[in-house]
Structure 1
Amino acid sequence: MRYGLIGEKLGHSFSKEIHERIADYTYDLIPLSKEAFHAFMEKRDFTAINVTIPYKKEVIPYLDEIDEHAKAIGAVNTIVNKEGKLIGYNTDFTGFHYMVKKHDVQMKGKKVLIIGNGGASAAIQAVVQHEQAKQMIIVDVVAGNGAITYDECFLHHLDAEIIINTSPVGMYPHIGNTPIDITLFHKCEAVMDVIYNPILTRFCLEAQNEGIKHVNGLEMLIAQAKQSVEYFLNKTIDDAIIDEIYQDMLMKRCNIVLIGMPSSGKTTIGKMLAKRMQKEFIDLDDKIIEKAGKSIPEIFTESGEAGFRAIETEVAIELAKTNNKIIATGGGTVKHKVNMDYLRQNGITIFIDRDVDKLISADPNRPLSSSKEALHKMYTERIALYRKYAAYIAVNNTDIEETVSEIETAYHSVLINAVKD
């Protein structure tokens, strides 16, 4: 017996974790080159598999049967080997439709723009048609097969009301990329992304910044996996498992990003949280020292604050791609929007607020907080940024144990709402 996922690059995949939560079998990730893919399909040495980029259409010639749903979509992401006969299905339709209904995205009578025209797009197009959109526009890098170019899109379709990304643009490790500038679309009321790594794609983050409803692809992944398991094992599974796995994966994978003034308690609180929540603690300043090969005062002396901030941004981008971490940032990390945009893609940001008079001045490792006066000035300059980027504010003036407990509780309550709508 062999169950698993085939695709070209699978290092980012969560499918193994999801399938093994739903079913009692081992689920393998099977990366295949173009040449290896053909050999694998000809050999047929598997019980059931899922198929991802770029083989959802390429598998079709190897199949003996395709169910009507997959045939209409023109792509297959689930194959069951029934006594040597390969039968293809498409569960992307069910997965995406679940996400549309769960988040109450109303498509009826709306203009819907779909980015990408590959195998995943085919299922999404079928859902959009099912939901009775007034108009469906497909945009791709290359026009053809029903798709228009980006130039034509920008000329004629900036009135799109719902935008769906089915392309791989913005997927780990290239999490800073976005397939389209959401600010161009003034009538846009909802965006959806089939990408699930990072937790919040840049596409969805920009929608969040504009106050637009936004949904990432993790729920779709889990919902389609649930239906795949039903095909694999020929049994019905309750939909309740989808939300159970979704919330659990978010809790375990999402980072906590601590922001606040120097000596506000970020490091101490971060280490305590890491121990309690079984997450790894990382101090951003320590990573800067490690990357530069010199102390922070030395960086300031040799390169000034601008040189320090450049290294800080490089480190912030690297840390933003990690999961299940407690990240204590430097006091000035919030000064640069790019740092916070990256860190928020996989993290919930908590502002540790502490009275300025309780902060420590004259720390030789903090060149910018050399006196009480400097700290007061710094706090005044930065407080608006701390509040702007905070998903939650925790005041750390009295019992630090209480502050840690408060943050842990807040993390659980804030997380679900922070990555959707």
Structure 2
Amino acid sequence: MKYGLIGGKLTHSFSKTIHEQLGNNDYELLEISEENFHDYMIKRDFYAINVTIPYKEKIIPYLDFISPQAKRIGAINTVINKDGKLYGYNTDYDGLKALLKRLKVDCKEKKILILGSGGTSKTARVVIEDLGCRNYYFVSRTKTAQTITYQEAISIHNDCDIIINTTPCGMYPNTDCLPIHLHNFKKLEAVVDVIYNPLRTKFIVKARNRKISAIGGLYMLVAQAFYASRLFQDKNLNEEQIDCIYHHLVQEKENIVLIGMPSSGKTTIGSMLAKRLHKEFIDTDELIKSRIQMEISEYFSKFGENSFRIVESQVIEEVSKRTNLVIATGGGVILKEVNIENLKENGKIVLLNRSLDNLIATSDRPLTATKEKLETCYLERKLLYKKFCDIVIDNNHDLTNAVDEIIERMKI
């Protein structure tokens, strides 16, 4: 391997895609066990590598030179082989700094909690120090001279202004994990999570639900890769590439989630969108029917609505972990807030808004089988649809116009 990323588990890494867009088509992903790490580093059989968990600190003894910034942090994520000598750098610093700038976070005179005690937490410390923060605490499961516990964070430091999560809690596939509960923190201004898969962790989704400024780690990932690529290629690349690659990745990975009343056009428009954008189309009602092996109306009749909603939530949770989809949901998906939280991890919620007069009652939809039931349902759900959506699309007229508007509004 000439160029690439080494780490423990790299199955879901975006790094190869990013570096290829930065002009390095030789970039590879190499999973290395801890047993083989020493032999790999002794051989030095590479031109330049990025380093991720669990080797950001373990790689230090193998280096001949460490940049002052990386030495101050105590962790490495980029190594350049120059004539057999290994030079270590930390471009995570530049990536996190760019992420905080994007969120417009002001660290001066703020109390900041850094969740975690690994290599990235050390990077966060140096970044916020350089941005003027002097009042910060590392939070860990185990209390040490350098860390406080999560209980102490909640009971003593619940007046903090900013939380930065550097733990893997919430990372795919364990996306239900929350590093800490936000309702304990009444003064919180901003939440930053270095995790990039999912695009928005549950931690970020819940922060935004509370109207707190919050951002996930994808922009940091792209920015650190950009600065690493500068070192790899030894030339001054244009920083505008960071935004371009970030936007491209979001548009490629992000799901478009269609919500709305039965007969609002979700399946038809979803299919049209998927074809236009080269995304896979999924109808959650069809997945549910496949799982329960009967029509939804029959299932309602035999087992009731509560049982159906349990199955629906299971399907939503599974689908939400995937990316690059157009998802048409059932009309009642908004009845459980957890469904929306799951869907927002990798998706934008688009409400197809169709007036009651243009909706059609059909027997295959048990809660809207008659005009009277349809009207009742419409009035009960109308505010929930508006509450949970990111984008509202008027779908009372031409379907093609609605598709065009969704595509335009999905652009960052």
TM-score by length of 2: 0.97
- Name 1:419's counterpart in structure 2: none
2:120 equivalent in structure 1: 120
The offset of 1:240, in angstroms, is 0.6
2:3 is matched by which residue type in structure 1? Y
> Take 1:134 and 1:64, find their aligned partners in 2: how far apart are those partners?
32
Specify the code of the residue in structure 2 equivalent to 1:69.
Answer: Q
**For each residue in 1:71-116, what CA deviation from the matched residue of structure 2 results, as whole angstroms up to 9, or x when unmatched?**
1110011111112211111111111111222322100111111001
AA aligned opposite 1:379: Y
Whole-angstrom CA distance in 2 between matches of 1:149 and 1:320: 32
CA separation in 2, counterparts of 1:132 and 1:315?
46
Higher mean C-alpha deviation, range 149-158 or range 299-308: 299-308
Matched, 1:217 2:220: no
Corresponding residue for 1:395?
A: 394
Runs of 4+ in 1 over 6 A off after TM superposition: none
Compute the displacement of 1:39 (Å): 2.6
Residues 302-381 of structure 1 mapped to structure 2, 5 A cutoff: 302-364=302-364, 366-381=365-380
Deviation at 1:145, TM superposition (A): 5.5
- Asked whether the 8 Å contact 1:226–1:242 carries over to 2, the reply is yes
8 A Cα contact 1:353 1:395, kept in partner: yes
Superposition deviation, residue 143 in structure 1: 2.1
What amino acid is the match of 2:392?
I
Q: Is the 8 A contact 1:3 1:25 kept in 2?
A: no
The 10-residue stretch of structure 1 (230-239 or 243-252) with the greater mean CA deviation from structure 2: 230-239
Which residue of the partner structure matches residue 167 of structure 2?
A: 167
Q: Report the Cα offset of residue 233 of structure 1.
A: 1.6
1:37 is matched with 37
Q: What is the match of residue 182 of structure 2?
A: 182
Deviation at 1:125, TM superposition (A): 0.6
Alignment of 1:78-227 (within 5 A): 78-144=78-144, 146-227=146-227
Q: Using the alignment, how far apart are the partners of 1:245 and 1:4 within structure 2?
A: 18
Aligned partner of 2:294 in structure 1 is 294
Report the Cα distance in structure 2 between the residues aligned to 1:24 and 1:6, rounded to whole angstroms. Answer: 16
Q: CA deviation at 1:362?
A: 2.9
3-state SS of the aligned residue for 1:79?
A: strand
Tell me if 1:12 matches 2:12. yes
CA distance, structure 2, for counterparts of residue 396 and residue 110 of structure 1: 46
Structure 2: which amino acid aligns with 1:105? V
Aligned AA for 1:223? A
Q: Which residue of 2 aligns with 1:46?
A: 46
Question: How far 1:62 moved relative to its partner?
Answer: 1.6
Deviates more, 1:199-208 or 1:293-302: 293-302
CA distance change for structure 1 residues 86 and 273 in 2, over 3 Å: closer, same or farther? same
* Residue identity matched to 1:396: N
Q: Matched residue pairs, number?
A: 412
Aligned-partner residue type, residue 368 of structure 1: L
83-92 or 329-338: bigger deviation: 83-92
Name the counterpart of 2:279: 279
The AA in structure 2 aligned to 1:404 is V
**CA–CA distance in 2 between the matches of 1:9 and 1:20?**
20
Distance in 2, matches of 1:352 and 1:25, equals 41
| Aligned residue in 1 for 2:27 | 27
User: Using the alignment, how far apart are the partners of 1:100 and 1:391 within structure 2?
Assistant: 23
2:237 equivalent in structure 1? 237
Is 1:117–1:140's contact at 8 Å kept on the other side of the alignment? yes
Letter in 2 for 1:381: E
Segment drifting more, 368-377 vs 172-181: 172-181
Q: Secondary structure in 1 aligned to 2:367? A: coil
The one-letter amino acid paired with 1:380 is L
Q: In the alignment, residue 387 of structure 1 is paired with which amino acid?
A: K
Query: 2:406 is matched by which residue type in structure 1?
Result: I
Distance 2:267 2:222 in 1: 35
Q: What SS is found at the alignment partner of 2:304?
A: helix
Whole-Å Cα distance in 2 between the matches of residues 400 and 229 of structure 1?
A: 44
TM-score (norm 1): 0.95
| Mapped partners of 1:363, 1:27: distance in 2 | 55
Shift of residue 192, structure 1, vs aligned partner: 0.8
Q: Secondary structure at the match of 2:30?
A: strand
Indicate the SS of the match to 1:368.
helix
Contact 2:154 2:185 in 1 (8 A): no
The CA deviation at 1:201 is 1.3
More divergent stretch after superposition (197-206 vs 374-383):
197-206
SS in 2 for 1:50: strand
Segments of 5+ residues of structure 1 without an aligned counterpart are 417-421
Moved more, 98-107 or 70-79: 98-107
- Distance in structure 2 (CA, Å) of the matches to 1:322 and 1:270: 16
Code of the residue aligned with 2:158 in structure 1: it is L
Q: Secondary structure at the match of 1:326?
A: strand
CA 1:293–1:35: 2 relative to 1, 3 Å: farther
Helix, strand or coil: the match of 1:282? strand
Tell me the distance in 1 between the aligned counterparts of 2:353 and 2:51: 48
Residue type of the alignment partner of 1:393: V
Distance in structure 2 (CA, Å) of the matches to 1:145 and 1:8:
29
**How many angstroms apart in 1 are the aligned matches of 2:217 and 2:34?**
26
Deviating more after overlay: 135-144 vs 335-344? 135-144
Counterparts of 1:136 and 1:123 in 2: how far apart (Å)?
13
